[in-house]
Structure 1
Amino acid sequence: MRRFSASYLAHTREGMWSGGREALADCSLGDRDRALDVGCGTGAFTRVLTEETPQDATVIGVDADIGLLDVASDRYDPGDGSAPCRPQYVAGDATRLPVGDDAVDLAACQALLINLPSPAAAVRELVRASSDLVAAIEPNNAAVAVASTVDRETTLEREARAAYLEGVGTDVALGDRVETLFEAAGLVDVRSRRYLHEKRTVPPYDDRSLESAARKASGAGLDAHREALRGALSAADYDDLRRRWRAMGREVVAGMRDRDYERVELVPFEVTVGRVR
C-alpha cells in the first residue's frame, strides 16, 4: 500500500465535502448505527461520518499508519457541538480489518482502493465487516481537469499526470470502475453518484497556496512523485520535465507576486454504494 504524509493528505483533501454532501445520499448516513472508515488517514472522512450519523452512532476510523491516527485524534474537536460524537480510531490493515463479521452497518473508504495493489481484496473485507452497506469514494485521476492563468501549467500537469498514471503501479484512475469490483464481491443494488472536488487558488493567497507555488518553482513538488514518474520516464526525460516544471513554477510565483494568478482543479470522485446480499 502506498503511504502518505499528513501534510499531503491535508493538501489533497482540503475543502472536500464543504460544498455539499448530496453525493453521499445512498449511504443513508442518518440511519446508521455503526460506521467504519477504512484507510481513514488523518480522519477527514471519519469526521464527515461523525457529523452525518445519529448522535448515538458509533464511528470508527481504521488505518495502518499509527502516525496518521495520532493526527486524526488530535484534529478532532467538536467545538460548537456540530459533530455529535467523538470517533474512535483503531490501527489495522484494510485487507485484515480488526473487526468481526457484520460488525458495522456501513463499511466505507475514501481514496483507499486506488492506492492498493489488490483493491478487490479490500472490497471483500469491507463486505465481510458490514451487515448492510458498503461504500467507496474513489477518484478517477485520469479525468482531472486543470485551468490556470499560467498557460503552460495546464499542459505540463497533463503531461506529468499521464506519466504518473503509467508509472505509479496502482490503479489511481479506478473511480468509475468500482461498481465492477462491488458486483464481483457479491454486493447488490450497486449505484454511483459523482462528486466533483474543486480546489481553487485565487488572491488573497493562503500559506498553503504560497507553499505549493514555491514547491513548483524549486521542483520539490514534482520530486515528491519522482519514483512513480520514473516508472514511465527515462532519467533524461524526467530531468527535462523537471526543468520545464520549475520554469512554470517561477511563472506561478511571479503571478502570485502580481496578484493575478488563478488556478482551478476539478477532481471527479465516484461515490459507489452497494448492499450486502
Structure 2
Amino acid sequence: MRRFTAEYLRRTREGMWDGSRAALSALALPTRTRILDVGAGTGELSRVLAAESDAEVVCLDADPRLLGVARDETGLPVVAGDATRLPFETDAFDLVVCQALLVNLPTPADALCEFARVSSDSVAAVEPDNAAVGVDSTVEREVELERRVRSAYLDGVATDVALGDTLPALFERCGLRDVRTSRYHHDKRVEPPYDAGDVEDAKRKATGEGLDAHETELRRVLSADAYDALRREWRSMGRTVAEQMHAEEYRRAEVVPFDVVVGHVAER
C-alpha cells in the first residue's frame, strides 16, 4: 500500500466537500449511530461524517503518524489497523466508508469484503477517477506537462488508480446489494489572492519536489534520461508559475472526478 504524508493529504483534499455535500446523501448520515472511516488519514472525511451526523465516528488508518494528526485535529477516536483485517467484530458499525483508499490497495476487494463484515447496514467508497482529471492553467506548459506526467504515472503505479466503473462489481462480489453510484467533482482553483499553500505548491514545482513525490512510479515507465529531462521541464514550468504568481496573473483549475458508491449488507 502506498504511504502518504500529512501535508500531501491536506493539499490533495483541501476544500473537498466545502461547496456541496449532496453527493453524500446516499450515505444517509443523519440516520447513523456508529460510523467507521477506513484509511482516514488526517481525518478530512471524518470531520464531514461527524458534522453531518450524530453518530460516533471512528478513524482507522495503518499509519499511526497520520492518526495522531486526526486525533489532534478532529477529537475523534482513532484506531490503528489494516483495512483488509479490521480489528472489529462483525456488525460493529452501521456504516463503513472510505475516501481515496481503494485506489491505493493492490486488492481492493479484500478491503471491501472486510467493510461488509463489520457493517450491519451499509458500505460506501468515495474514490477518484485519476484518469479523468482535467487541468487548465494560465501557464500552457503546465497543462501539457501534467498530462504527460499523469499518463506515465498511470502506467507506472502498482494499483488501479482509476477504478471507475469497476467499483460496483467489486461491491457485488463482496455480497453487497442495491449498489448505487453517483459522481462528485472536486473543483480545486488557484487564483489571487494566493494563500500560503498556493505559494508552497509553486515552490514545489520550481524545485522539482512536486514531481519527485511520484518518482518511483514514473521511473518504472521512463528511462533515467527521460525522467531527468522531464524534471528539468517541470522545474522550468514551476519557475514560470512562480513568476506569474508574483505578478498576480497565475490561475489554475483542476477538476478531479470522484465516484461515490454505496451498497447495503445482505441479511446474515
Give the structure 2 partner of residue 70 of structure 1: 68
Equivalences for residues 54-203 of structure 1 within 5 A: 54=54, 57-76=55-74, 86-203=75-192
CA deviation string 1:1-25 (max 9, x = no partner): 1100000000000000001100011
2:248 pairs with one of 259, 270, 273: 259
Equivalences for residues 220-235 of structure 1 within 5 A: 220-235=209-224
Aligned residues: 266
Give the structure 2 partner of residue 83 of structure 1: none
Q: Is the 8 A contact 1:137 1:175 kept in 2?
A: no
Q: Partners in 1 of 2:109 and 2:226 — Cα distance?
A: 34
Give the structure 1 partner of residue 6 of structure 2: 6
Tell me the amino acid that sits aligned with residue 4 of structure 1: F
Q: Partners in 2 of 1:143 and 1:174 — Cα distance?
A: 11
Shift of 1:232: 1.0
Tell me the amino acid that sits aligned with residue 33 of structure 1: T
Tell me the amino acid that sits aligned with residue 5 of structure 2: S
Q: Partners in 2 of 1:53 and 1:273 — Cα distance?
A: 17
Q: Is the 8 A contact 1:140 1:176 kept in 2?
A: no
Q: Partners in 1 of 2:219 and 2:181 — Cα distance?
A: 34
Give the structure 2 partner of residue 42 of structure 1: 42
Q: Partners in 1 of 2:221 and 2:181 — Cα distance?
A: 32
Shift of 1:174: 1.2
Give the structure 2 partner of residue 19 of structure 1: 19
Q: Is the 8 A contact 2:94 2:120 kept in 1?
A: yes
| SS of match in other structure, 1:157 | helix
Give the TM-score, by structure 1 length.
0.94
Q: Partners in 1 of 2:250 and 2:57 — Cα distance?
A: 41
Shift of 1:73: 1.0
CA deviation string 1:88-131 (max 9, x = no partner): 11111100111100111101000000011110100100010101
Q: Partners in 1 of 2:76 and 2:247 — Cα distance?
A: 44
Tell me the amino acid that sits aligned with residue 18 of structure 2: S
| SS of match in other structure, 1:198 | strand
Tell me the amino acid that sits aligned with residue 267 of structure 1: V
Shift of 1:175: 3.4
Residue 258 of structure 2 corresponds to residue 269 of structure 1? yes
Tell me the amino acid that sits aligned with residue 144 of structure 2: T
Moved over 4 A (4+): none
Q: Is the 8 A contact 1:96 1:125 kept in 2?
A: yes
- Structure 2: state its 5+ residue gaps: none
Q: Partners in 2 of 1:242 and 1:231 — Cα distance?
A: 15
Q: Is the 8 A contact 1:216 1:246 kept in 2?
A: yes
Q: Is the 8 A contact 1:145 1:267 kept in 2?
A: yes
Give the structure 2 partner of residue 79 of structure 1: none
Give the structure 2 partner of residue 29 of structure 1: 29
| SS of match in other structure, 1:196 | strand
Give the TM-score, by structure 2 length.
0.98
| SS of match in other structure, 1:36 | strand
Q: Is the 8 A contact 2:70 2:76 kept in 1?
A: no
Q: Partners in 2 of 1:211 and 1:7 — Cα distance?
A: 11
CA deviation string 1:170-209 (max 9, x = no partner): 1111134211110111111000111101110001111111
